[in-house]
Amino acid sequence: MTDRAYVIDTMISAKAIAARIEELCHEIKREFGDTDKLVVVGLLRGSFVFIADLVRELDLPIEVDFLEASSYGDAMESSREVRILKDLRGAIEGRDVLVVEDIVDTGHTLSHVVRLLLSRAPKRLKSIALLDKPSRREVDFAADWIGFAIPDEFVVGYGIDFAQRNRNLPYIGKVRFTD
């Protein structure tokens, strides 16, 4: 897969991402303003840049934890089989939880993770995704907050990869194959 030649066209600039994160944080603070501690759960690996910027902008008491789920591997298409590769380190029972995802495509991964975490009896659980591809949805699930709705394009950057490449781009770019 990675031996195919491609270029990356900017879809969402770093400046637009930063502005949207600021807006989202105001909404999250309204929802969780009364929390004694918000457990921010990042879904690895794609959300790590988003979660870092999000928690720096949130003026709330925060604990960060990570869960790694996969339905892609190195492929461009979801396998629809969600595997938990790394579970949370801490308990979330009775706690306020915000699940942070990089992109909602078919909806299988985030839907699975939210069901799993709800089974652990959090006080409140909300979800946020930087990107949403509603045209690709296969399950009836929507994140509580969305950064940007995008068309059905293969994207990279800002933590999102193509076969473990391009996570370090400061923007969201559309992959365009040249061969």
For 100-130, the pLDDT digits (tens) are 999 999 999 999 999 999 999 999 999 999 9
Per-residue pLDDT tens over the stretch 26-65 = 999 999 999 999 999 999 989 999 999 999 999 999 999 9
Q: DSSP states of 102-156 as a string? A: EEESSSHHHHHHHHHHHTT--SEEEEEEEEE-GGG--SS---SEEEEE--S--EE
DSSP state of 37: -
Task: Write the CB contacts of 124 (distance below 8 Å, at least 6 apart in sequence).
Answer: 31, 32, 96, 97
Q: Of 53, 102, 105, 132, which residue is the catalytic one?
A: 105
State yes or no: is 105 an active-site residue: yes
Dist CA 11 CA 22 (whole Å)? 19
* CATH class of the domain whose range is 13-152: alpha beta
Residue 116's pLDDT is: 95
Q: What is the mean pLDDT of residues 58-83?
A: 78
Average pLDDT taken over every residue of the chain: 92
- Indicate the domain borders of the chain: 13-152
Q: What's 61-110 look like in SS3? A: CEEEEEEEEECCCCCCCCCCCCEEEECCCCCCCCCEEEEEEEEECCCHHH
Dist CA 155 CA 131 (whole Å)? 10
Q: How confident is the model at residue 179 (pLDDT cuts 50, 70, 90)?
A: confident
Residue 121's pLDDT is: 98
Residue among 66, 65, 56, 61 at smallest CA distance from 38: 61
Residue 83's pLDDT is: 84
Amino acid letter, residue 82? V
Residue 156, pLDDT > 90, answer yes
